[in-house]
């Protein structure tokens, strides 16, 4: 059987070819980011490599582009992850306060949490906390708040003190300024509240707030409307339950859950009269 | 001349003739094409070899060419089994057709690399709907499933548009049925009447040498029928497992609940479902699990079986090939009113309205605009009506009339969600179940024997499946990091469109929810291992 390096040889040739052909393209970096945004990591990496070799564009942007692509470059190797770590560390050391420096800190935390074979959750938490403390209003710090909530509430053993974790996580809520980040945070916390029995009232409050901000995925929105209806019913808040169930029926009339929700509405309206 | 030399000359001669013939064939094709210099050829590839489908696509192609004389459409039919390998060769070789059926052999990375995202167009009306009630609706909202099946949650985009839906029904031989049940006898509408058919058939078979089997079965058709009986009995059970209160329990959550001991094969609902499966399964041919789909079809067509269960995809094939009239009914499952099997049942199932036979436009297409136009034409109300009228498949588009011969397949909307079944398990879990399934249809304490046979091997298999599920989710979560970094950078540089903003918000939420779910699954699994 052909060994891995030999099998990767055509890809290497292709990458070098692409790099050479693209080097003089003035929109090289735009194309590299476009590729990365569409999961075309090999292509994006080749373009950033070309930009680095030909010194096209801002060097920090190019290095950052290489770093975020290395996180998912196939085959995923320890060497690539270590290279990404070295890039992010260098970028932060050079300037921790510009866009690249801040983003690098966030992806250093992601690297520790997700991309290593042996994730280092305490290190990731420490980096997220640093990011939140130093640049609380930045997009990545706002994203980091939901990540901290996930790690503290969902990634700890089922026997851990989830109430204590919830109290710690809730202290971060006032820092949330960006609506999308707040929505995500609310959905994470409400899921944990339901799953670990941390209080229906709290779960309902977080869910309603998330819904008010606006949930950007239709399927998630459908789940949330039903969850609110069921939680409200469980808490004896029939009007809220009916409102949200009826919204589900209006927005998702062809769902396989429609009939079940219709029965719920009938039941609630019957109980009301 | 030596014998070996003669053989060599013959060999080379054959190769030369073959080469010459191929050259002539290729040149002729080229010439035929060149006869219409202003016409482009769109190529569309799929694996739907069922009767009527080729004709339906041809009809669409002819009508499309009539409206656009500069475009002709060529169909490439590739058998299902070789489709993934064929597809990879075409994509990597740069020779892929313009439109390809999406499914086999296409993962997220291939989709991103080789297919065109459609989000720009799904928000706009389909121009081929002009003059219909759908003319002002966004293309997405003209589909019965709101294009949910075409949406890729990892890539947060639409990559295909589909032509039809499918449901599963019970086909029966009307002539044979009347011989057994009496002239004009109505089809069974509930489980008791279904049981009565089995009884009458046993009487009919009596001492006959060539006995008729009640239901033709195979490894393909059997589960289509029998899984529904287990799902029927576990409807209430599954709702009890719905911790997140959204009337929807994912397969991994069902498996986790199994490992956590919240249900198992000795649960009364599951035992009742297994009893029911045994009772119905005995009416399939012995050893049906080792028969193939074609075997079951022959059984039915040769009148050796009274009924067969299959989907709407087979209606045209069966009706064309059967020398007898065929009627079609819903599978008669127990209702809550059934005294023996009713207590765990909520009611009829709401049938999934996922859209199938979905086509994507390849990035390699030399005519992407024409490919989009043909895709929109096929999924317009008029185009889809034409497709449905010819193929006898169910429509994917709102307002398309279901033709009379397939009315029985009309999806049931007023119904509850299904319960759990064997397909709630992952690959390893299903393998253990399938290896022991023969016990469920045996004679010696079948349900008990089957249940006991799973005790040792099923738990480790389910654990392996869940570990695989966590790994898959982690992979998707990791991928989102690069995507999000790029989207955020575009926004930071002021180079983002409203579509970029939407995609970023959706990817970010999807990643957070997936991360939350993956950790919950992982920590639950850890707690059970300990």
Given a contact cutoff of 8 angstroms between Cβ atoms, the answer to whether B354 and B104 are in contact is: no
- Nearest 10 degrees: CA dihedral of A56, A59, A62, A68? 180
Q: Binning pLDDT at 50, 70 and 90, where does residue A2 land?
A: very low
How far apart are the C-alpha atoms of B80 and B84, rounded to whole Å? 8
Query: Quick one: how far is CA B62 from the chain centroid?
Result: 27
Mean pLDDT for B62-71 is 96
Contact A220 B509 (CB under 8 A): yes
Q: What angle do CA B5, B9, B13 make, to 5 degrees?
A: 170
Q: Please state whether B352 falls in left (phi above 0), alpha (psi between -120 and 50) or beta.
A: beta
Kindly list the distances between the CA atom of residue A117 and the CA atoms of A5, A60, B500, in Å, as whole numbers in the listed order.
21, 27, 31
How far apart are the C-alpha atoms of A187 and A211, rounded to whole Å? 9
A76-127 tens-digit pLDDT: 999 999 999 999 999 999 999 999 999 999 999 999 999 999 999 999 999 9
- Mean model confidence pLDDT for chain B: 93
3-state secondary structure B64-104: HHHHCCCEEEEEEECCCCCHHHHHHHHHHHCCCCCEEECCC
Q: Binning pLDDT at 50, 70 and 90, where does residue B530 land?
A: low
Could you tell me which of B165, B122, B104 has the C-alpha nearest to residue B355?
B165
Candidates B112, B495, B502; nearest CB to A38: B112
**B87: CB partners within 8 A, 6+ apart:** B45, B78, B96, B100, B104, B105, B106
A183 contacts in chain B (CB < 8 Å): 509
A237-263 tens-digit pLDDT: 999 999 999 999 999 998 999 999 999
B323-354 tens-digit pLDDT: 999 999 999 999 999 999 999 999 999 998 88
- Nearest 10 degrees: CA dihedral of B343, B344, B347, B353? -170
Q: Binning pLDDT at 50, 70 and 90, where does residue B6 land?
A: confident
**B520: CB partners within 8 A, 6+ apart:** A154, A191, A195
A68 contacts in chain B (CB < 8 Å): 481-482, 485-486
A65 contacts in chain B (CB < 8 Å): 489
Could you tell me which of A225, A232, A230 has the C-alpha nearest to residue A246?
A225
How far apart are the C-alpha atoms of A5 and B488, rounded to whole Å? 34
Q: Binning pLDDT at 50, 70 and 90, where does residue B443 land?
A: confident
Q: Which two tokens stand for residue B166?
A: 């499918």
Q: How far apart are the first and last CA of chain B?
A: 81
Give the pLDDT confidence score for residue B30 in this predicted structure.
52
A35 contacts in chain B (CB < 8 Å): 486
Reduced to 3 states (helix: H, G, I; strand: E, B; else coil), residue A35 is helix
A12-62 tens-digit pLDDT: 555 555 555 555 566 899 999 999 998 899 999 999 999 999 999 999 999
**Nearest residue of B to residue A150 by CA position?**
B516
Mean pLDDT for B198-210 is 92
Q: What angle do CA A214, A220, A222 make, to 5 degrees?
A: 90
Mean pLDDT for B409-425 is 95
**Nearest residue of A to residue B109 by CA position?**
A39
Q: Does residue B13 register a pLDDT over 90? A: no
A170-203 tens-digit pLDDT: 999 999 999 999 999 999 999 999 999 999 999 9
Order of strands across the sheet that contains B213-216 = B213-216, B305-311, B168-173, B326-329
The sign one gets for the Cα dihedral B360, B366, B369, B374 is negative
Percent above pLDDT 90 for chain A: 85
What single-letter DSSP state applies at residue B314? G
Give the pLDDT confidence score for residue A25 in this predicted structure.
66
Tell me how close the Cα of A37 comes to any Cα of chain B, in angstroms: 4
Q: Does residue B3 register a pLDDT over 80? A: no
**B373: CB partners within 8 A, 6+ apart:** B64, B68, B71, B128
Given a contact cutoff of 8 angstroms between Cβ atoms, the answer to whether B267 and B446 are in contact is: no
A62 contacts in chain B (CB < 8 Å): none
Mean pLDDT for B412-421 is 94
Give the pLDDT confidence score for residue B496 in this predicted structure.
81
**B399: CB partners within 8 A, 6+ apart:** B132, B133, B134, B381
How far apart are the C-alpha atoms of B97 and B371, rounded to whole Å? 10
Q: Binning pLDDT at 50, 70 and 90, where does residue B207 land?
A: confident
Q: What angle do CA B373, B112, A64 make, to 5 degrees?
A: 135
> To which H or E segment does residue A123 belong?
helix A121-134
Q: Which two tokens stand for residue B530?
A: 């300990």
Kindly list the distances between the CA atom of residue B34 and the CA atoms of A251, B70, B211, in Å, as whole numbers in the listed order.
51, 13, 60
Tell me how close the Cα of B415 comes to any Cα of chain A, in angstroms: 6
Give the pLDDT confidence score for residue A1 in this predicted structure.
39
Identify from B489, B490, B501, B511 which residue to disrupt to test chain A contact, counting A C-beta atoms within 10 A and taking the largest count: B489
Could you tell me which of B519, B396, B522, B499 has the C-alpha nearest to residue B155?
B499
Candidates A64, A68, A184; nearest CB to B481: A68
Give the pLDDT confidence score for residue B19 in this predicted structure.
84
Paired residues of B94 in beta bridges? none
Contact B248 A257 (CB under 8 A): yes
**A13: CB partners within 8 A, 6+ apart:** none
Contact B482 A187 (CB under 8 A): no
Contact B516 A261 (CB under 8 A): no
Q: Binning pLDDT at 50, 70 and 90, where does residue B24 land?
A: confident
Give the pLDDT confidence score for residue B262 in this predicted structure.
97
**Nearest residue of B to residue A157 by CA position?**
B523
Exposure string for B226-239, b = 16+ CB within 10 A, e = fewer: bbbbbbbbbbebbb
Query: Can you tell me which residue has the tokens 């393998």?
Result: B431
**Nearest residue of B to residue A11 by CA position?**
B92
E-state strands within A104-223: none
Paired residues of A187 in beta bridges? none
Give the pLDDT confidence score for residue A3 in this predicted structure.
47
Given a contact cutoff of 8 angstroms between Cβ atoms, the answer to whether B214 and B188 are in contact is: no
Give the pLDDT confidence score for residue B153 in this predicted structure.
85
Contact A72 B478 (CB under 8 A): yes
> Is the reported ipTM for this assembly greater than 0.85?
yes
**Nearest residue of B to residue A109 by CA position?**
B481
Given a contact cutoff of 8 angstroms between Cβ atoms, the answer to whether A271 and A263 are in contact is: no
How far apart are the C-alpha atoms of B493 and B490, rounded to whole Å? 5
Helices (H), ranges, B68-148? 83-93, 108-114, 119-122
Candidates A114, A191, A222; nearest CB to B244: A191
Reduced to 3 states (helix: H, G, I; strand: E, B; else coil), residue B172 is strand
**How many Cβ atoms are within 10 Å of A67's Cβ, its own excluded?**
27
How far apart are the C-alpha atoms of B297 and B305, rounded to whole Å? 9
Would you say how long chain A is, in residues? 273
Kindly list the distances between the CA atom of residue A36 and the CA atoms of A89, A100, B183, B382, in Å, as whole numbers in the listed order.
21, 16, 67, 39
How far apart are the C-alpha atoms of B22 and B472, rounded to whole Å? 45
B67-76 tens-digit pLDDT: 999 999 999 9
Q: Binning pLDDT at 50, 70 and 90, where does residue B31 land?
A: very low
The sign one gets for the Cα dihedral B297, B301, B304, B306 is positive
Q: Can you state the percent helix, strand and coil of chain A, rounding each to 5?
A: 75, 0, 25
Q: How far apart are the first and last CA of chain A?
A: 74
Q: What angle do CA A251, A263, B332 make, to 5 degrees?
A: 105
Given a contact cutoff of 8 angstroms between Cβ atoms, the answer to whether A244 and A229 are in contact is: yes
Percent above pLDDT 90 for chain B: 82
B287-330 tens-digit pLDDT: 999 999 999 999 999 999 999 999 999 998 899 999 999 999 99
B524 contacts in chain A (CB < 8 Å): 158
Omega of the bond prior to A75 within 30 degrees of 0, cis? yes
Given a contact cutoff of 8 angstroms between Cβ atoms, the answer to whether A71 and B481 are in contact is: yes
């Amino acid at each position: 059987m052909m060994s891995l390096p030999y099998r990767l040889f055509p890809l290497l040739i292709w990458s070098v070819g692409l790099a050479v052909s693209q080097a003089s393209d003035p929109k090289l970096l735009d194309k590299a980011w476009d590729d990365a945004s569409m999961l075309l990591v090999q292509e994006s990496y080749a373009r950033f490599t070309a930009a680095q070799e030909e010194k096209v564009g801002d060097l920090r942007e190019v290095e950052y582009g290489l770093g975020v692509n290395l996180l998912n470059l196939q085959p995923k190797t320890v060497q690539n992850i270590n290279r990404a770590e070295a890039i992010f560390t260098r970028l932060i050391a050079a300037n921790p306060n510009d866009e690249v420096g801040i983003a690098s800190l966030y992806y250093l935390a992601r690297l520790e949490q997700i991309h290593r074979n042996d994730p280092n959750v305490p290190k990731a938490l420490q980096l997220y906390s640093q990011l939140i403390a130093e640049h609380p209003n930045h997009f990545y710090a706002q994203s980091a708040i939901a990540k901290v909530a996930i790690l503290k509430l969902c990634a700890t053993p089922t026997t851990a003190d989830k109430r204590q974790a919830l109290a710690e996580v809730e202290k971060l809520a006032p820092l949330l300024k960006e609506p999308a980040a707040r929505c995500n945070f609310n959905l994470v916390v409400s899921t944990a509240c339901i799953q670990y029995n941390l209080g229906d009232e709290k779960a309902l409050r977080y869910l309603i707030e998330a819904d008010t901000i606006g949930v950007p995925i239709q399927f998630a929105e459908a789940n949330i409307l039903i969850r609110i209806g069921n939680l409200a019913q469980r808490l004896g808040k029939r009007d809220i339950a009916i409102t949200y169930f009826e919204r589900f029926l209006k927005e998702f009339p062809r769902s396989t859950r429609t009939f079940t929700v219709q029965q719920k509405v009938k039941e609630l309206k019957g109980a009301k009269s | 001349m030596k014998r070996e030399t003669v053989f060599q000359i013959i060999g080379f001669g054959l190769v030369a003739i073959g080469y010459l013939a191929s050259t002539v064939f290729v040149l002729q094709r080229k010439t035929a094409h060149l006869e219409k210099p202003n016409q482009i050829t769109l190529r569309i590839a799929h694996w739907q070899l069922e009767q009527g489908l080729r004709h339906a696509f041809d009809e669409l192609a002819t009508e499309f060419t009539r409206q656009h004389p500069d475009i002709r459409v060529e169909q490439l039919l590739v058998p299902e089994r070789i489709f993934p390998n064929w597809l990879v060769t075409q994509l990597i070789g740069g020779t892929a057709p313009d439109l390809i059926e999406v499914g086999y052999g296409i993962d997220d990375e291939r989709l991103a690399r080789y297919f065109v995202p459609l989000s720009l167009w799904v928000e706009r009306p389909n121009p081929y709907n002009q003059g219909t009630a759908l003319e002002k609706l966004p293309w997405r909202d003209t589909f019965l499933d709101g294009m949910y099946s075409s949406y890729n949650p990892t890539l947060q985009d639409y990559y295909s548009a589909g032509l039809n839906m499918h449901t599963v029904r019970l086909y029966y031989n009307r002539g044979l049925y009347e011989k057994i049940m009496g002239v004009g006898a109505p089809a069974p509408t509930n489980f008791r009447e279904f049981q009565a058919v089995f009884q009458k058939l046993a009487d009919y078979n009596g001492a006959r040498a060539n006995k008729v089997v009640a239901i033709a079965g195979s490894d393909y058709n059997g589960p289509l029928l029998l899984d529904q009986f287990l799902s029927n009995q576990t409807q209430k059970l599954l709702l009890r497992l719905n911790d997140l209160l959204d009337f929807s329990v994912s397969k991994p959550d069902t498996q986790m609940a199994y490992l956590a001991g919240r249900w198992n094969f000795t649960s009364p609902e599951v035992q009742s479902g297994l009893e029911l499966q045994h009772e119905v399964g005995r009416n399939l041919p012995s050893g049906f699990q080792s028969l193939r789909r074609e075997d079951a079809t022959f059984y039915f067509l040769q009148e050796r079986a009274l009924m067969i269960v299959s989907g709407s995809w087979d209606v045209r094939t069966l009706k064309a090939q059967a020398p007898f009239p065929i009627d079609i009914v819903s599978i008669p499952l127990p209702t809550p009113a059934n005294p023996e099997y009713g207590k765990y049942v909520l009611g009829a199932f709401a049938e999934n309205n996922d859209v199938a036979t979905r086509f994507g436009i390849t990035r390699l297409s030399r005519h992407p605009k024409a490919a989009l136009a043909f895709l929109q034409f096929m999924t317009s109300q008029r185009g889809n009506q034409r497709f449905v009228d010819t193929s006898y498949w169910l429509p994917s588009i709102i307002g398309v009339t279901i033709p009379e011969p397939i009315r029985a397949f009309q999806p049931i909307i007023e119904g509850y969600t299904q319960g759990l079944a064997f397909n709630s398990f992952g690959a390893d879990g299903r393998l253990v179940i399938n290896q022991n399934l023969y016990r469920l249809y045996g004679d010696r304490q079948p349900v008990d024997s089957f249940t006991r046979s799973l005790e040792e091997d099923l738990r480790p298999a389910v654990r392996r499946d869940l570990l695989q599920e966590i790994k898959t989710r982690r992979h998707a979560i990791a991928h989102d990091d690069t995507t999000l970094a790029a989207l955020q950078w575009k926004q930071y540089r002021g180079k983002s469109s409203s579509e970029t903003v939407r995609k970023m918000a959706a990817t970010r939420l999807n990643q957070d929810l997936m991360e939350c779910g993956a950790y919950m699954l992982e920590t639950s699994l850890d707690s059970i291992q300990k």
